[in-house]
Amino acid sequence: MQMVLLEKKTEFILEPKADTFYLVLLDKNAEQGKIKVDISFQKPGVSCQLLFLGRLKNNSSWQLESNTRHFVTGTSCLTNVYLSQADEARVDYFGQIYIDQEASQTKSFLKEQSLILGKATYNRSRPILEIFNNKVKASHSASSSRLSEVELFYLMSRGFKKIDAEKILEEAFFNKVLDSIKVKAAHKLIGGYLC
């Protein structure tokens, strides 16, 4: 699977011809941003992954959108959105999966996870499924939650300061997605981003 880093633009219209891993790293220093990714599957059998990754802090505000549209048979897509929100960070995410009547044997999944670290964050999430074929598998899930008190307590009882324990747990949150990525080039980029 090849990797493509989506950067320097706010809107991407993609029509993959081969299996591809698309990566979007949200600028940690930007006060606000807007990114829209449209993936249109027109070639049968193509498989893709799309990952939005962001460590958002201060009062940064982001509008994110992904539209995954399947028009032919046997395509698959996994969309992951992993965000941590500190301070007063705001995120508005819209994620669509559309499966056309002709697109049988499609598999398309969307997973959005927000880790809330700040006290005045805002998170809006609209994961949309539009399915017009019965020979498919599609799902989405979205969750927004804070660090586990139990896990924090465990680490602090082992001598970590609260701030260090929080950092470890945030790192673990992102490691979950890293573990699922098989493209080596992506590991290096993401590792650098998370430092």
Partner 1 sequence: MKRANLQKLNDAYSDKFGFSMPEKSVLSFDFGLSQKIIADISTSKNEPTWMREFRQQSLQVFRKMKLPSWGPSLAEIDFEKIRYFIKNTDVEKKTWAEVPDEIKETFDRLGVPQAEKEFLAGVKAQYNSEVAYSSLQAELDEQGVIFCSMEEALQKHSDLFKEYFSKLVPAADNKFAALNSAAWSGGSFVYIPPNTHVKRPLQSYFRINAARMGQFERTLIIADEGSSANYVEGCTAPVYSEYSLHAAVVEVFVKKNARFRYTTIQNWSGNIYNLVTKRAKVFKDGVMEWIDGNLGAKTTMKYPSCFLVEEGAYGEMLSIAYAKSKQIQDTGAKMMHLAKNTSSQIIAKSVSLDGGQSNYRGLVYISKAAANSKSKVECDALILDKDSATCTYPDMKISGENAIVEHEASVSEIEEEKLFYLMSRGLTKTEAMTLLVAGFIEPIVKELPLEYAVELNRLIELEMEGSVG
Residues that bind partner 1 (CB under 8 A): 101, 104, 116, 119-146
Q: How far apart are CA 135 and CA 118, in angstroms?
A: 42
- Nearest distance in Å: CB 74, partner 1: 16
Q: Please, are residues 117 and 88 in contact by the beta-carbon 8 Å criterion?
A: no
Q: How far apart are CA 130 and CA 90, in angstroms?
A: 27
- Nearest distance in Å: CB 174, partner 1: 19
Q: Phi, psi at residue 164, to the nearest 5°?
A: -70, -40
Nearer to partner 1, 20 or 108 (CB): 108
**Amino acid type, 136:** V
Strand partners for 93: 64, 125
Nearer to partner 1, 15 or 130 (CB): 130
- Nearest distance in Å: CB 172, partner 1: 18
- Nearest distance in Å: CB 117, partner 1: 11
Q: How far apart are CA 75 and CA 52, in angstroms?
A: 20
Residue bearing tokens 């001598």: 159
- Nearest distance in Å: CB 121, partner 1: 8
Count the Cβ atoms, other than its own, within 10 Å of residue 54.
25
Nearer to partner 1, 77 or 186 (CB): 77
- Nearest distance in Å: CB 17, partner 1: 27
Nearer to partner 1, 1 or 128 (CB): 128
Three-state SS for 36? strand
Nearer to partner 1, 11 or 130 (CB): 130
Count the Cβ atoms, other than its own, within 10 Å of residue 30.
13
Nearer to partner 1, 47 or 144 (CB): 144
